[in-house]
Amino acid sequence: MGIEDLTQLEILQGSLSLAYSMIGILIGLIVILRYYRSKRKELLGVAFAIIFSVIAWAAGGISFLTFIFFDYLLPDGVYFFLNYGFLLLANTFMIYAIVSLISPKSVKKVVMIFLIITITFDVLLIYLIFTHISLVGQMAGKFDSESATIVTLMVLFALITAVVYRILFVRNFSKSESKELQWRGRFILVEAILLVIGSLMDAVVTITITTLIIARIILVLRLLFLYLGWLLPKTVAKWLIKEKK
């Protein structure tokens, strides 16, 4: 038993999920280091948002490793919690980061609302995992799952709110006279588009080797544009502004 018992698609699913989650965690740690240098509180929100958002893919990556080395797959309940239990929390951290910039006085109120929603959903998720796991979802392979209606609605809610708050971020920065801030807003706009496309491809499009590779590339690019939107390097900013002129 081991990697020789996996299909090519399963190997790709597991390895790409592992790679994507590791890239996300690495970028999140880089953002945390930038926070310690700049003391910009919103960067902590961005860092934790990135790290928690990729835990969904870490579930498949961890199962891939445990299957290869120990012939063991994560229990469905553990897999589902890793897959769905941190999405709203990631959203809450990103919303904190955005609102702290565009409307600092509203941060506590907005974050509290989303924390209540997050905690409520996670309590419901844990309850369903232990009592009616079929209402959470079902495994669609060794390293992939299909969500049930309740969880699908939660994922859509998370995706919609993520996009809405990113649009608010973009609108705020697009009004600035600073060319650098305008570019940051453009990068976040592209990131929002890639987030929607990549997430929908992962959830809706029939999985093949081609679609899987494309979806993962899109999601990795999404992380890159997110990084540029929040931490635009000065050298890149100077090049872009010079080209703009």
pLDDT band at 134 (very low <50, low <70, confident <90, very high): very high
- Which residue segment(s) compose the domain that 149 sits in? 3-244
Query: Is 80 exceeded by the pLDDT of residue 19?
Result: yes
The average pLDDT across 149-177 equals: 88
Query: Is 60 exceeded by the pLDDT of residue 181?
Result: yes
In whole numbers, what is the pLDDT of the chain averaged over residues?
Answer: 89
The average pLDDT across 170-177 equals: 83
Rounded Cα distance, 182 and 7, in Å: 46
What is residue 245's predicted lDDT score, i.e. its pLDDT? 44
Q: Phi first, then psi: what are they for 27, rounded to 5°?
A: -65, -40
pLDDT band at 244 (very low <50, low <70, confident <90, very high): very low
The average pLDDT across 10-30 equals: 94
> The domain spanning residue 208 has which CATH number?
1.20.1070
Tens digits of residue pLDDT in 208-236: 889 899 999 999 999 999 999 998 888 88
Query: Is 60 exceeded by the pLDDT of residue 13?
Result: yes
The average pLDDT across 78-93 equals: 94
Query: Is 60 exceeded by the pLDDT of residue 1?
Result: no
Helix axes 41-53, 8-38, angle to 10 degrees: 170
Q: Which residue has the higher pLDDT, 143 or 126?
A: 126
> Taking CA 199 as the corner, what is the angle to CA 62 and CA 128, rounded to the nearest 5 degrees?
60
Structure tokens at 74: 């994560």
Q: What is the pTM of this model?
A: 0.90
Tens digits of residue pLDDT in 105-123: 999 999 999 999 999 999 9
Say which residues have a Cβ less than 8 Å from residue 136's Cβ, sequence separation at least 6: 80, 84, 125, 128, 129, 147, 148, 150, 151
Q: List Cα–Cα distances, 45 to 22, 26, 141, 165, in angstroms.
A: 18, 15, 33, 14
- The 8-class DSSP code of residue 88 comes to H
The percent helix, strand, coil of the chain (3-state, each to 5) is 85, 0, 15
Judge contact between 120 and 89, C-beta under 8 A.
no
The average pLDDT across 40-68 equals: 93
- The 8-class DSSP code of residue 140 comes to S
How many domains is the chain built from? Answer: 1
> Taking CA 140 as the corner, what is the angle to CA 148 and CA 76, rounded to the nearest 5 degrees?
75
Judge contact between 99 and 161, C-beta under 8 A.
no
